Structure 1
Amino acid sequence: MIYALAAFTLFVASAIPLEAKVLLLCLLIREAHTQLSFLTLRGGELFLNIDGACRWNGDNFHVSRVCFFSRHLIVLELTSPFECRRLALACDAFDSETFRHLSRVCLVLKV
């Protein structure tokens, strides 16, 4: 979404020379590609319990909070003694029943 807004702003602004627009567009495409490849690498096995215990790719975490919750995306803040990270769970990455179950667990964790 932010990339689409940046691209729209880039081409609507007529004060920017064409060469600068092309350069910025190349940088924008490169950044989008980097983000997509980073998200593809984050796949793996996820086990989420209703008490907040989470096991992701063999590492144990605790869900400290649910940062964002919607019908299409859930963002969890995971903490362990060694690190803190955010994990985005998109609905199109799971089958509908699995994402529905994750949503119910996250609703309990959010309360």
Structure 2
Amino acid sequence: MTKITFVAPDGTRYDVDAPNGSTAMENAIKNDVPGIEAECGGACACATCHVYVDEAWTEKTGEPEAMEEDMLDFAYDVRPNSRLSCQIRISVELDGLVLTVPERQA
């Protein structure tokens, strides 16, 4: 298991043990992290699982691919470290990952 932390808009931290191979979005939903709506169920067809990747982790999570970038156009308050959590695949290299949920989703 890989430990990841979601930070809610109010600052509440949700520490999650995430199985390798799952997505950050799946773990947010499973652990009732507020603000992650995931309306498309992880198909990269909406922007309701938008998160901000902590600056220390942006290199390890990588850049969004073209389809994800297109969906981020629909997200609220997109920043250089914005990602869709459905596109972040959990691996041992991401142990300690910190993701912040925006104040609101698209």
TM-score, structure 1 normalization? 0.27
Larger CA Rg, structure 1 vs 2: 1
- Answer 1 or 2: higher relative contact order, Cα 8 Å, separation at least 6: 2
Higher strand share: 1
Task: Give the TM-score of the pair, scaled to structure 2.
Answer: 0.28
- Higher helix proportion: 1
